[in-house]
């Protein structure tokens, strides 16, 4: 398959649209209407989009990603009318959160209305996760197509999520109908997912929006995230995710002059990778391959934005083992550390 590439930037979708941009949007709309899948940018990560009402399109998403069928997809919309078409009920507390955080990096799990979405979109469940992205290009595509788009991350299942169009091309070129090339994702981690099917609401997947922020707006308790469910109600709950091909180990407590990064006897130091803040480079053996994740130990948002690119860099290198810096556990770092622990399979050493 020859994958179609469209270049559309945030500047391109400012009104009035040029005829060239309109032509690209029309091609993307037709692709979705005919059951094809197209990767699009969002502010979190790149998503692999398909018509959430079309079982054939959803099947193509699962096939392209090699994604387990019991892992539900998030549906992306551009307005509240779309939400009303396939959800059965949205209470006032959820609307309050939507009004505050949408468009933005949060998905709400809501009761599903029968007979609208493909059952495979929601993994045969009676609820659906919904998001209204803030990326200008994603919003324009959703507005132009007027189709609810199911869009998991546009990568091979289990591998680091894509935050740049080049990552998508590397993983899926020749396997999907099209890719929209745009700016790098601003946030770099998948959306917060909040289960609103019962009260108190519960974080099903941590993300950019923290539990503290949710509780402040809601003025009520929100339950913390726990990876304990056999049947996931949200992406990112059950399976090992975000991982490079090499074994990776979290260094809890950080890296300092006393940290001993043990190297297996059969691996040279040149084959050891370290992902950490720039400020700890001085404590890492110069023969090891170092990737700077952020400026310093307090630069959590920068680290989140750069995490997947760093994992992909190591994945493409010749290192045989990777050590990654473990940040202090706070509400600000919860999503970042969730992805790091998932990528390592919870393999930990103390720094």
What is the per-residue pLDDT across 28-48, written as a single tens digit (0 to 9) for each?
Answer: 999 999 999 999 999 999 999
157 is in an annotated binding site: no
130 Cβ neighbours under 8 A, 6+ residues apart:
74, 75, 76, 77, 83, 87, 107, 108, 109, 110
Q: Where in the chain is the domain with CATH 3.90.870.10?
A: 4-218
CA atoms within 13 A on the CB side of 347: 13
Looking at residue 231, its pLDDT comes to: 52
228 is in an annotated binding site: no
Mean pLDDT score of the chain, rounded to an integer?
94
Average pLDDT over residues 209-215: 97
Looking at residue 235, its pLDDT comes to: 62
Residue whose pair of structure tokens reads 């998991």 in the numeric block: 152
Task: Annotate 194-248 with three-state secondary structure.
Answer: EECCCCCCEEEECCCCCHHHHHHHHCCCCECCCCCCCCCCCCCCCCCCCCCCCCE
Residue 20, phi then psi, degrees to nearest 5:
-65, -45
User: In the numeric block, which tokens belong to residue 322?
Assistant: 């990777």
User: In the numeric block, which tokens belong to residue 181?
Assistant: 């090339």
Q: Where in the chain is the domain with CATH 3.40.50.11030?
A: 248-350
Q: Where are the beta strands (DSSP E) in the chain?
A: 4-7, 38-40, 47-51, 74-76, 106-111, 127-131, 149-150, 178-181, 192-195, 202-205, 248-252, 272-276, 289-292, 321-325, 348-350
Looking at residue 293, its pLDDT comes to: 98
Looking at residue 289, its pLDDT comes to: 97
Average pLDDT over residues 153-166: 94
As beta bridge partners, residue 291 has 275
205 is in an annotated binding site: yes
Q: How far is CA 145 from the centre of its chain?
A: 22
131 is in an annotated binding site: yes
Looking at residue 256, its pLDDT comes to: 85
Question: Quick check: 56 pLDDT over 90?
Answer: yes
Q: How many residues does the chain have?
A: 351
Looking at residue 16, its pLDDT comes to: 96
151 is in an annotated binding site: yes
The kind and range of the H/E element at 136 are: helix 136-145
Average pLDDT over residues 149-170: 95
CATH number for the domain formed by residue range(s) 248-350:
3.40.50.11030
182 is in an annotated binding site: no
Looking at residue 262, its pLDDT comes to: 80
* Bigger pLDDT: 241 vs 101: 101
Looking at residue 238, its pLDDT comes to: 52
Give the closest residue to 65 by CA, choosing from 33, 29, 39: 39
Looking at residue 233, its pLDDT comes to: 61
268 is in an annotated binding site: no
User: In the numeric block, which tokens belong to residue 220?
Assistant: 């009520």
Give the closest residue to 279 by CA, choosing from 300, 261, 293: 293
231 is in an annotated binding site: no
The kind and range of the H/E element at 58 are: helix 55-65
The kind and range of the H/E element at 171 are: helix 165-172
User: In the numeric block, which tokens belong to residue 56?
Assistant: 């054939």
pTM: 0.93
Superfamily of domain 4-218 in the CATH hierarchy: DHBP synthase (3.90.870.10)
71 is in an annotated binding site: yes
């Amino acid at each position: 398959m020859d994958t179609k590439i469209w270049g559309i930037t945030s500047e391109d979708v400012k009104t009035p649209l040029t005829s060239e941009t309109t032509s690209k949007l029309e091609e993307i709309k037709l692709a979705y209407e005919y059951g094809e899948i197209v990767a699009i940018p969002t502010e979190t990560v790149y998503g692999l989009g398909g018509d959430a009402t079309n079982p054939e399109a959803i099947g193509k998403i699962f096939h392209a990603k090699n994604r387990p069928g019991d892992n539900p997809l998030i549906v992306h919309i551009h307005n509240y009318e779309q939400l009303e078409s396939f959800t059965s009920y949205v209470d006032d507390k959820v609307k309050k959160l939507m009004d505050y955080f949408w468009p933005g990096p949060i998905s709400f799990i809501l009761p599903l209305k029968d007979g609208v979405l493909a059952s495979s979109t929601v993994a045969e469940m009676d609820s659906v996760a919904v998001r209204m992205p803030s990326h200008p290009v994603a919003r324009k595509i959703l507005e132009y197509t007027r189709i609810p788009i199911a869009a998991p991350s546009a990568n091979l299942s289990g591998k680091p999520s894509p935050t740049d169009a080049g990552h998508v091309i590397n993983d899926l070129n020749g396997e999907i109908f099209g890719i929209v090339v745009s700016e790098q994702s601003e946030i770099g981690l998948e959306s917060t997912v909040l289960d609103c099917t019962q009260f108190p609401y519960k974080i099903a997947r941590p993300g950019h929006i923290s539990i503290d922020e949710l509780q402040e707006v809601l003025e009520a308790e929100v339950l913390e995230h726990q990876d304990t469910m056999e049947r996931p109600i949200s992406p990112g709950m059950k399976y090992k995710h975000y991982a490079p091909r090499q074994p990776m180990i979290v260094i809890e407590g950080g890296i300092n002059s006393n940290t001993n990064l043990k190297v297996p006897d059969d691996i040279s130091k040149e084959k050891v990778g370290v992902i950490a803040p720039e400020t700890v480079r001085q404590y890492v053996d110069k023969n090891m391959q170092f990737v700077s994740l952020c400026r310093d130990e307090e630069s959590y948002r920068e680290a989140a934005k750069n995490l997947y690119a760093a994992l992909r860099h190591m994945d493409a290198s010749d290192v045989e083992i990777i050590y990654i810096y473990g940040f202090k556990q706070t509400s600000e770092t919860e999503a970042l550390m969730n992805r790091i622990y998932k990528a390592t399979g919870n393999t930990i050493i103390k720094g």
